[in-house]
Every structure is written in C-alpha cells, then in structure tokens.
Structure 1
C-alpha cells in the first residue's frame, strides 16, 4: 500500500492525518494555553443557542412565525422524543436543561462540516466530560434530596434476591451507577465525534492530495474515490451528529429521572 501511494503521487509519500488535527495552540502568541479555537467556538455556540431561543420566545405570538415557529418545533421535538418518555409529569420542569444540552451539543457537532471551522467541539474529551459530570451531579443531588441519603443507595439494589447474589450485585451496581455511567455518557459522544472527524479528514486529504497537491494519471482514480467517499461520509456524519446530541440528551433525561424516583 505504501509503494502504491508513492507511485500514484509521483514519488512523494502521502501522509495520513493524525492526532495533530486535535492539537490547537493559543489563539495568539503569549496568550493563555486554554484560549484555543475549540474554546472560542464552544462559547460561540452557547451564545448562538441562547440568542436564538431568546429571539424566538421573547415575545411569543398566538400564531407562531419565523424564529418562533422553528423554536417551537425544536421544543416539541425535545419534549416529545427526549423528555416526556422518561420524565413524564416532571417534563416541563427539566425542559430548559434538556433543550440546552441537545441544541448546544448539536451545534458543537455540526461545526465539523462548517467551512473554516471544520472541527467538532465534542471531539475534545473535556467538553463532553464537563456536560456528563454536570448531569451526574444533578442526578446524585436529586437522588439524595428526594429519596434521602440511605434510601438513595439502597434503592439501587433489587429486593428479594438470595443473600450470596448481593455480594456480586452490589459492587457491580454501584460501580455502574457512579463510575461507568458518567464515563460512558461522555466517551460515547467524544469517541463518535473523534472518529468521524479523523475519517472525514483522511478521505478529504486523499482527494486533495491526489487531485490538486500531487496530481498524476495514476493517482487520479484514487483522488476521485477520496472526493466521492468524503461527500457520502459528510452526509452520514450529519446524521450521526444529530443522533449523538439526541442520545446524550436522552440519557440525561433518564439519569435525572433515576434521581427523582427510585430505580427498584
């Protein structure tokens, strides 16, 4: 494969993109290490989401039009497909949080295919980790407040099982609830955005390299395949970006409900 890529590119070796895609220096020389492109666009997305829904609902009309119409469609989707199936009567109380999570993460993800930005914010583990920890602390707080410190921990364990089973079940249940659940909540979003960005970058670079950077007769077919696969994967990535925002918010609703009411 290495020899073929060298031959197709006219003697120069094609270098696949790597982890340098996720390494961003400070925005300006001497600036703080944390002030990078992902941080700026993460904040930018937050401002856009807040501004849009403020614009949509600041002066609601009986017959919605324009921004209010779009905002209500988004609200009903989150309410009916994410919140209500898990939260039931508690849906309205938690809608602001779930709306914010869903649309913020969706915006973060869509930055991967926006020209110039071309980077999914959630592909940096710090961003989904902060959101997952926030949901986790809300869940634990609600559990301790609504069920009490003792019942919150005992309600996690099913009743009426043989005593030996509890020696195996209790550690597994607590490990799953307090470590694995928040970890997988963050990593699921991060891993999908990270992998999707790497694959898109690889095939788009293949197309650019063999068609524009080092065009040769032998490499034309390879470059054309790279462009076609990039187009197909971009469409698929748009779907995945939406689904990952949906899954993150859905799990948040499920975790909140587990804090509000006993699981067993």
Structure 2
C-alpha cells in the first residue's frame, strides 16, 4: 500500500513493517512545518469534513437531497443515539458539538485506510488518537468540576458503600483507573485497531502482487486467494472504522455521564 514492491532483491517476499507508519516528509522538508504523507492525509480529511458539512447545511431544504440526507443521518446518529440517549437532552446538546466533531473526525480518518491513493488511516499514528483522548479526558474533568469539584473527586476516589478501611486499597486503584488509564486505553484501542488493520491489508495485497508478478508456475494461483482475502478484509476494515468511531464517541459520552452523575 505504501510500498508497492513485494519482493526483495533476491526475489523473496518482503512483508509490511512498522516503518509503514513513518513515511519520509514530502513538503516543507527541513522546516518546522514539514509534512509527511499521513499528516497530509489528516489535513485533507479536515478540509473534506468542513467542506462537506458546509455544502450540505448552507441551504438546507425541507425535503433533503441525498447529500443533506447523509449529513442529517450522521448528525442524528450522534445526537439521538449517543448524546441525548446517555446525557439527556440538556447535557446532550451541551456536549453535542464536541461529540459530533470526535465522531466524524475519527470516522473519516479511519476510512482513509481503504481509500485508493491514500491507503493509510490518519488515526494509525499516535498523534491524533492521543489528541482526541486528551480532549475526551479534559471534557470528562470539565463536566465533573463544573457540576461540583468536591463531589466529583469524592465520588471518583471514594466510591460510596465501601467500608472506610478498604479505601486504602480502593482509592489508589480508582485514581489510576479513572484519571490515568482512561485516556491511555482510549488512545491504544483506536491506534492498535488501525495499525493492525492496515498491516493486514498491506500483507494481503503485497502478497497478491508477489504471487502474480514474482512467483513461478502454479504459485501464481495463490494470488487469487490473497486478493480475495484482501477484498474481504477491506470490507471488514470499513466496518471496524465505523465501529471504532462509534465506540470512541460512546466511551467519551459515558465518561462525561459518569462525571455528571451524583454517584458513580
């Protein structure tokens, strides 16, 4: 995908490596603003999202066209099924811009992994997943402190119903799981799914290229199998891209909900 050559100099097959995610800079090389392929894809995604919603919402019609209908379906998915369902209408609308931004940013950056000529997810390098996880974590802290800092930290660190002498064990565990592990797990869940998915797709399509153009005799027929697996895993990767966007947004909403709850 990033490296279309599947064979080494001696004719052997060379699979994908972690170097797939560290392409060389191609623009503004040697400056603080240098951009590699993945960073350019991220910029393309941001422009595409802004342009899409600007074009589909600037002249909204009572009977929506196809593009407006797609935009409304996506927005309703986040608003109805995630934000308002978990947070209620008042808090759901308050955090809706954040949740909508996270959902569509993750979704479209995930899908670039299966877009021809792009072929790598913008979320397959830690920068974007970590940034979004930090934003989700900041929203969680903000929601809790805004409602009542004392009650928020007390409920988070000293869960009600626990015998007082067990807080010696429970409080450190709650601190680590609530304030340290949450952003880490959000980051790694998204990042690892995109890395593994990309490497599998690269493996199948490089193998296809190798069998068709490098292998001898009947071994060429193995390319049909690897190509078929590549197509199947491409469809599976699209499903994973959508699910990961939904899960990331859902977990962000759940964390905010826990911060707003009287007890958790």
| Shared fold (TM-score, shorter chain, > 0.5) | yes
Query: How far has the Cα of 1:235 moved from its partner?
Result: 0.9
Q: 1:26 to 1:82 in 2, by over 3 A?
A: same
Match of 2:23 in 1: 24
What does 1:27-106 align with in structure 2 at a 5 Å threshold?
27-28=26-27, 29-32=29-32, 34-89=34-89, 90-106=91-107
Deviation of the 1:177 alpha carbon: 0.7
Deviation per CA, 1:82-115: give whole Å up to 9, x if none.
2222111221222222111111111101111111
1:182 matched to 2:183: yes
Output the TM-score relative to the length of structure 2: 0.90
How many residue pairs get matched? 253
* Cα distance in 2 between the residues matched to 1:34 and 1:176: 37
SS across alignment from 1:123:
coil
Partner of 1:14: 13
Alpha-carbon distance between aligned partners in 2 of 1:160 and 1:238, rounded to the nearest angstrom: 44
Task: Tell me what 1:202 maps to.
Answer: 203
**SS of the counterpart of 1:122?**
coil
How far apart, in 2, do the equivalents of 1:25 and 1:188 lie? 26
Quote how far apart the aligned CAs of 1:65 are.
2.2
Corresponding residue SS for 1:144: helix
Counterpart position of 1:227:
227
Deviation track 1:114-163 (CA, whole Å, cap 9, x = no partner) reads 11110011110111000100111121122112112x22210123223222
In structure 1, what is the equivalent of residue 254 of structure 2?
A: 254
Residue 34 of structure 1 deviates from its aligned partner by 4.8
Show structure 2 runs of 5+ residues with no match: 1-7
Q: Is the 8 A contact 1:135 1:252 kept in 2?
A: yes
Partner of 2:5: none
Query: Structure 1 residues 263 and 37 mapped into 2: Cα distance closer, same or farther (>3 Å)?
Result: farther
- Report the counterpart of residue 6 of structure 1 in structure 2: none
TM-score, normalised by the number of residues in structure 1: 0.90
- Residue in 2 aligned with 1:113? 114
In structure 2, the residue corresponding to 1:30 is in which secondary structure? coil
Superposition CA RMSD, Å:
1.8
Gaps of 5+ in 1: 1-8
Question: Does structure 1 conserve the Cα–Cα contact (< 8 Å) formed by 2:26 and 2:34?
Answer: no
The whole-number CA distance in structure 1 between the counterparts of 2:93 and 2:227 is 45
Q: Secondary structure at the match of 1:135?
A: helix
CA distance in 2, matches of 1:261, 1:20: 44
Q: Which residue of 2 aligns with 1:237?
A: 237
Q: CA deviation at 1:33?
A: 6.7
Structure 1, 30-39 or 161-170: larger mean CA deviation = 30-39
Any conservation in 2 of the 1:146–1:261 contact (CA below 8 Å)?
Answer: no
Once residues 87 and 189 of structure 2 are traced to their aligned partners in structure 1, the CA distance between those partners, rounded to angstroms, is 22
SS in 2 for 1:191: helix
